[in-house]
Amino acid sequence: MASARPAANTTWCARCGAYLSVSPGARSLRCPLCHGVTRVERRRPHALQRVAVGFIKGLMNAFTTPPPQASSSPAPGGSPPGSSSFSQLPASSSYPARGRGCNKRALLVGISYAGTKYELKGAVNDVNCMHYFLRERFCFPPDSILVLTQEDRDLSRVPTRANLMRALRWLVDGATAGDSLVFHFSGHGVQKLDNDGDEADGYDEALCPVDFEDPRGGVILDDEINATIVRPLGKGVKLHAIVDTCHSGTILDLPYLCRLSRTGYWQWENQQTRFSSEQKCTSGGLAISISGCGDSQTSQDTTAFSGSTSTGAMTYSFIKAVESEPGTTYGRLLTAMRATIRDNGGEFGIPGPIGTFFRRVITFSCAQEPQLCASETFDIYRKPFLL
């Protein structure tokens, strides 16, 4: 596949995602692989361009203007932003309150690990992009989005282990039927030897807070993430985790991993062992994770934005896939993300005027393959992606 969007004389199969050639004047096609029938889309490029212009203006502002946050001041005598001393961080914080009539809430975490050998250039940019993306594309109110970055002057919003666990609890606290929750993490991830027998591959996956090497901090295991934001989800509550880290394929410890081939064939693989069983499931809600790579793979930064501004390869491919095809399905989203990474950013980049603010630099890892996991199975080519 050359890009995340078919060329003018081709289209995608609505069922399996395979490319199909379109004859002039054709209104529908039957896929030779899955035999599904696809209606031929009539595009209106000028309308899409007008929408894209507004999106890009906001996106570029995201790089120069910090995301809106509740006003707060640094703790007296506290460490400056980026400091490696976290012992004096406050035990509580004024995270956004649940607004009346608001059924959307998001937690965005970007960790640069500034001043260490693990430093990442694109993590904070990922958060800025996602903040704008959620507001403009999926109508998340600014005051329903909590951002944690190492550079924040409010020490309660520095992504230490303690603050990150507190923020995860904030995300799901009080969630009721109809609520849509989003957890986005851009940073480092690692694998740890599984000690309780609940991992099919023998390893736990883990997120690395800014103090992951500090004896008072440490990593956050997928077992803890599952217990904190997956199991409490009640009926009618939907959670999406978008995780741009290494070793993140099953970072939420969800029961099902989607195996998807390049030809579009797919099946759900049960990840549960006799030691995990029902304890990894939700309490009736739906949890879905879209991660940057498989458990044994690594994710990379890329300088996909103009001006050599870095961003995560997974975050870039995710935004590109959604922008290229609003109303896409989970199957088409995953296929498009993988194609973008395989093709080093894609031949055409992000479509319309958005593309003028992006340039292709070949820094993608061909071994990196985004993954889809869920708390329950569904038809990935029929279920629309919606936050």
Task: Give CA–CA dist 205/73, Å, rounded.
Answer: 35
* Residue 136 CB neighbour total at 10 angstroms: 15
The C-alpha R_g of the chain, in whole angstroms, comes to 21
Of 150, 180, 173, nearest to 242 (Cα)?
180
Helix or strand holding residue 324 (H, E)? helix 313-324
Joined tokens for residue 289: 């994770």
Q: Which two tokens stand for residue 118?
A: 């693990």
- Please pick, among 31, 129, 208, 246, the residue that the annotation labels catalytic: 246
Asked if 246 is an active-site residue, the reply is yes
The strand order across the sheet containing 220-221 reads: 189-193, 203-207, 220-221
Q: What are phi and psi of 275, to 5 degrees?
A: -95, -15
**Cα gap 363→351, rounded to integer Å:** 20
Residues paired with residue 42 on neighbouring β-strands, in sequence order: none
DSSP label of 356: G
Distance of alpha carbon 261 from alpha carbon 294, whole angstroms = 14
| 3 state DSSP class of 289 | strand
Contacts of 30 (CB under 8 A, 6+ apart): 36, 37, 38
Structure tokens, 376 = 């329950």
Q: What residues contact 333, with CB distance under 8 A and at least 6 apart?
A: 290, 318, 321, 322, 385
Q: Which two tokens stand for residue 31?
A: 């896929």
Both tokens of 13, joined, read 């199969």
Which H or E run contains 257?
Answer: strand 256-260
> Left (φ > 0), alpha (ψ -120 to 50) or beta: where does 91 sit?
alpha
Query: Is 188 labeled as catalytic in the residue annotation?
Result: yes
Of the candidates 184, 188, 240, 247, the residue annotated as catalytic is 188
Q: How would you class 119 by CB atoms within 10 Å of its CB: exposed for 0-12, middle for 13-18, buried for 19 or more?
A: exposed
In this structure, what token pair is assigned to residue 272?
A: 């549960």
The sign of the dihedral angle between the CA atoms of 135, 111, 175, 92 is negative
Residues recognised as catalytic? 188, 246
